[in-house]
Structure formats: structure tokens, C-alpha cells
Amino acid sequence: MLPAIRQCYPESRMPASIDDPIDIFTELFERAAQTCIEPGAMVLSTVDEKGRASGRYVLLKGVDARGFVFYTNMESRKARALSANPSAALCFYWPSIEKQVRVEGTVERVSDADADAYFATRPRESQIGAWASRQSATLESRDALDRRVTEVRERFQGAAVPRPPFWSGFRVVPQSIEFWTRDPARLHVRDHYERDGNLWVRTLLYP
């Protein structure tokens, strides 16, 4: 269940309505989807077991009260980093609506049932690609990848493509969510939500 919202303002200044950061995100996402080619593109930042930070774009595939979900090869660099250090940061930027959203939190694996359900919705070629790619491993040539794709196509010819055992998803469980709104004078609006047990604490930050 999504925590209630507690705002860091005196009672006399409390807004008439209480905001929900997941609802805010969903509304912004829907606005961005009207003008952005890939509104679900987000920078995922991780830190591995050696303390090395890394960032890359991944695609958001689900968001609800539990958190933000994406899928990947579990042998990839990001998956290895998340297994060693289950914390992550996400960053969305939608220039058409002049908004940025930053999410920080802990990370957990999605259930096998959730991973199976999502994998079944992927286009067949994407399913085949998931089997063929040894994500983040050294690739000797493009021909080698093409051969692996051909082998997978032949293996599952005339049959459904099951989810690979090495492919699943992660959920970023938010500890904080920040909404940034551009200001022409660089006095940007930063609305910050921090989880405090079963509550969300809302504050404004200096730009």
C-alpha cells in the first residue's frame, strides 16, 4: 500500500489536497507521452562491488505503489552491480514539458510470474534477441551475434519462445522522488518527497 503523504509545512499552509508522488509521476508521464518519442527512457545509475559508478538508459516497463520496474539480462553489467549493491537511482527528462524526475531507492527482483507475464508481451524478435544476446560480454563480431540469433530462431521454430532463465526484472523501491520544473531564470522548482516509514515527507529544495 502506498504510504500517505506528510508535508513539511505549518498546518496553516497545508494545501487543500494531499499529493501522491506516484500519481504525480503518472500524470507527468502521460503528458510527456503525448510529445516524447520514448517517455519511458530513464537513466539507471548503479554502483558495483568495487565502488565503480555506471549509468545507462533503460526502459520503464511498469510503475505502481511498489516502485519502478525494468527488465534485463541477469548476467549484464547492471544486473551484476545491482546484485552486489541493491541500490539505484533513476532519472527521467522530458524537455517538451520542461520536467525532470529523479528517483532513488533500494532494488528487488520482480517475481517469476511478473517476468513471465511481461516477456510474453514482447515481440517475438525481441524474445529471440533475449536468448541470443550475452549482454555486456565481449562480442567477437557481428556475424557471431547473427549466428546466435539464427540458432535461436531455428530452436523455437513453430513454438512459443519461453522466458530465458537468465532474464528477469528489477523493481526500484523509491526512498525519494524529486520533481524538477525548468525556470528560464534558472530558479528551477524542486519538489522533493522522502519516505519516512509509512509516510512521504514533502519539501521544497533550493535550485
Predicted TM-score (pTM) of the model is 0.89
Under the banding of pLDDT at 50, 70 and 90, the label for residue 198 is confident
Q: CATH number of the domain that 30 lies in?
A: 2.30.110.10
For 119, the grid coordinates are: 516477456
Inter-residue contact 193 to 176 (CB < 8 Å):
yes
Q: Is 150 within the bounds of a domain? A: no
pLDDT in tens, 5-18: 434 333 333 333 34
Residue type, 17: S
- Residues classed as catalytic: 186
Q: Is 143 within the bounds of a domain? A: no
What percent of the chain is modeled with pLDDT above 90?
88
Q: Is 141 within the bounds of a domain? A: no
Q: Is 115 within the bounds of a domain? A: yes
Q: In whole angstroms, what is the distance from residue 137 CA to residue 80 CA?
A: 12
The CA-based dihedral angle spanning residues 205, 91, 27, 198, taken in that order and rounded to the nearest 10 degrees:
-60
pLDDT in tens, 166-177: 999 999 999 999
Residue type, 161: V
**b/e sequence 156-181, b meaning 16+ C-beta within 10 Å:** eeeeebebbeebbbbbbbbebbbbbe
Q: In which domain, by residue range, is 67 found?
A: 4-121+164-205
Q: Is 41 within the bounds of a domain? A: yes
Give residue 143's pLDDT: 95
Q: Is 38 within the bounds of a domain? A: yes
Q: In whole angstroms, what is the distance from residue 22 CA to residue 157 CA?
A: 42
Q: Is 56 within the bounds of a domain? A: yes
- Domain tally, the chain: 1
pLDDT in tens, 130-155: 999 999 899 999 999 999 999 999 99
Q: Is 128 within the bounds of a domain? A: no
Mean pLDDT of 40-47: 98
